[in-house]
Chains A and B, each alone.
Chain A
């Protein structure tokens, strides 16, 4: 099993550009999450999904959109990137509601110039 995979691993964007981060999991988990990690801020939840076709806002959703068209995939989109979105993005999945054990991907390092 690959677990949770994320693509790309690194990306540099210019302000105003758009991009999509892809997360895939092969554990048949219902729940998936997108976080951003910034120095001194810990992991902050951007959006999450409790099942295929569902999405919900987390703590810091502004400037991001998500889609969960297939159970195994969770996409995070930036429509118009801003320097404040420079961060490391982690996707996670869990079997149960509330994510008592979340399995994290390796992360995507995004720089917006």
Chain B
């Protein structure tokens, strides 16, 4: 049972474009929603995170939008760069652990 559904599976955008990755959840007990970034051959690393009482959070070129009533959240990357090419995972936290989405492989072309 996939508790956090992530789409799309892969995404190709041109440099300067704004890729958007979406996640949806069902469990209302989730109380924290981080995004992790993973480069090939490396472990994932925390990119940005949001709590459900906030509708938007920005850190640099990365923005999370959160819609509590729809149980959806999304990651936007402004002015995307080739260095942003990586796999992105959304996640949701319950009391003791994170549940991850299936990942989105992003490629930013020149």
List the interface of chain A (C-beta within 8 A of B): 4, 31, 33, 35, 40-45, 48, 50, 56, 58-59, 90, 92, 97-107
Inter-chain contact B32/A42, CB cutoff 8 Å: no
| Selected A-B contacts with CB under 8 Å, 18 pairs | A33-B97, A40-B9, A40-B102, A42-B101, A42-B102, A43-B100, A43-B103, A45-B98, A48-B96, A48-B97, A90-B43, A90-B44, A99-B96, A99-B98, A101-B49, A104-B43, A104-B44, A107-B41
Asked whether any CB of chain A lies closer than 8 Å to the CB of B42, the reply is: yes
Contact of B93 among A35, A43, A98, A103 (CB under 8 A): A98
* B6 CB within 8 Å of chain A: yes
Asked, given contacts A43-B89, A45-B97, whether A100 binds B34 with beta carbons under 8 Å apart, the answer is yes
* A40-B9, A104-B43, A104-B44 known; A97+B95 contact, CB < 8 A: yes
